[in-house]
Amino acid sequence: MVEIQSAQRLLTLDADLGQLLSEERRRRASTELDVVVATVAPGLWRPEGLSSPHRASNVGLLLIDGVVVRSATLLDCPSAEVFGPGDIIRTWHADPGSERLRPVIEWRALERTTLAVLDGATALTLRAYPEITAVVLDRIDARAERLAVSQAISQITGVETRIEALLWQLSERWGRVGRDGVIVGLTLSHRLIGALVGARRPTVSTALARLAADGRVLRRPDGRWLLAGDGPRADGATQTLAA
């Protein structure tokens, strides 16, 4: 279910978008950039319902809070990508993609999620603020960088190492240091972890059991994951991941 709220000021919702603005231009942008805000309940939903894929002027949907998963299934093989606060979901694409290899796309909110609709009116106003547009482009580029790392993780030999590397990657955005290690603030099912690392759910369950037995990855009572040690390496031992 999607609830539409009243318009709010974009830079109040996401102050980091104005990081390149002078103080005077920030004040002006704060009064000129109003956006529609929508709240999505946990479960399946369609971004196209908020940002039409037929309008090239749409910037997209800016996640304010919450977690969204984009699943793509191709030839019965699922993959997944996680979106969080600050990410931008694009619904319009100039290239329609391959007709022969067209994956089935599914979007799911893992928790109650708030999004700002950056529509055509927003794009028009942003013409006066190229500093904000630069930050938007930087975030789209950051998504591409994360996908490149995710692809590299999926090529690692050994499901245990892939899972551990994935969780450490996610901890960079959703992690916090606890008494016993780093807590990844996401509730991820074995099936979803499998889609993220390119493995079947039974294989993931077996690998997680081995990681738990080694004290490297533990599931907390609240469903979140605890990472002990400093990170994975190719032989399955632990070391600090390179930045």
The domain segmentation of the chain, as residue ranges, is 2-153, 158-227
Quote the pLDDT of residue 241: 36
* Same fold yes or no, 2-153 and 158-227: no
- Which tokens sit at 16? 């980091």
- Which residues sit opposite 173 in a β-bridge? none
Assign domain 2-153 to a CATH class: mainly beta
Got the DSSP string for 45-95?
E-GGGTS-TT-TT--EEEEEES-EEEEEEETTEEEEEEE-TT-EE----SS
- CATH architecture entry for 158-227: Orthogonal Bundle (1.10)
- Which residues sit opposite 38 in a β-bridge? 4, 115
The one-digit pLDDT tens for each residue of the chain (243 residues) are: 888 888 999 999 999 999 999 999 999 999 999 999 999 999 999 999 998 887 777 899 999 999 999 999 988 888 999 999 999 999 887 776 667 778 899 999 999 999 999 999 999 999 999 999 999 999 999 999 999 999 999 999 999 999 999 999 999 999 999 999 999 999 999 999 999 999 999 999 999 999 999 999 999 999 999 999 777 765 544 443 333
Judge residue 54's burial from the number of C-beta atoms within 10 Å of its C-beta, 0-12 exposed, 13-18 middle, 19 or more buried: exposed
